Structure 1
Amino acid sequence: MNQIHSHSQDLQATLNAIAEQLQALAADHQDNPQQLLAILRTLEKTHQEIRDRWFQHALPDNRQDFYTLLQDIEANGGWPYIERMRLQALLARLENNPLDPD
């Protein structure tokens, strides 16, 4: 049990380090929407690849294990989802803050 807990802590430490790197990368490009969009697209693509390549294949094949997974999902923040900015929200922002004509 301690080994599982240790692996979980190692994984969380690695994920935290990756998250910090992503935050720093985004901060470095905070004034460039094209670069930030590239970062978001990469995150979304990575999310899809992990889900389709590994996660779906790792799903439990019996009810007890599946129920345990569902309990974990519910207890630890729900289903991972990457929300896309709606085009209407983007257009509304432009209406409220029109670009200065040069």
Structure 2
Amino acid sequence: MSADSPETSSSERLAQNDWEARLSSELAGLQGLAAEVDGDPEALLLLLRQLEGLHRTIQDGPFRASLPADRGALFNLLQGMERSGGWPYIPRLQLRTFMDLMQSGDDDSALAA
């Protein structure tokens, strides 16, 4: 989640905290499932495949749909992602290179390279 901005109301921060608490709870449940099948590679592989499927569903659906259409806002989002550890499955160096390409030229041909 992003850091609170001055425009963020206390009710928005509370809702964000509730969401983050729910997320932490769900992740703890998944960690518990993994612990239950510790030592069972087939069950752990199933869990990993399901998690990867969920990751792709979120990435290709709601995440992609929520990306800013404005180049500046997209760049700011990418900068924040780079500072906080990058995008899952995209190493930081590649994300940094993508951001540098966005910043270096105003034409979209730099992004096609």
TM-score under structure 1 length normalisation: 0.72
Give per-residue Cα distances to partners, 1:31-81, cap 9 Å, x unaligned.
211111000000000000001111111110002211221122122221123
- Give the distance between the partners of 2:89 and 2:20, measured in 1 at CA: 19
1:5 paired residue number: 13
Aligned residues: CA RMSD: 1.6
Percent of pairs with identical residues: 39
2:57 paired residue number: 49
Cα offset, 1:28, TM superposition: 0.5
Larger RCO: Structure 1 or Structure 2 (Cα < 8 Å, ≥ 6 residues apart)? 1
Does 1:36 pair with 2:44?
yes
* Segment drifting more, 35-44 vs 68-77: 68-77
Question: 1:37 is matched by which residue type in structure 2?
Answer: L
2:111 paired residue number: none
Question: 1:42 is matched by which residue type in structure 2?
Answer: Q
Question: 2:75 is matched by which residue type in structure 1?
Answer: Y
Q: 1:19 to 1:77 in 2, by over 3 A?
A: same
Q: 1:77 to 1:11 in 2, by over 3 A?
A: farther
Q: 1:6 to 1:77 in 2, by over 3 A?
A: farther
Within-5 A mapping of 1:13-28: 13-28=21-36
Q: Which runs of 5+ in 1 are unaligned?
A: 83-102
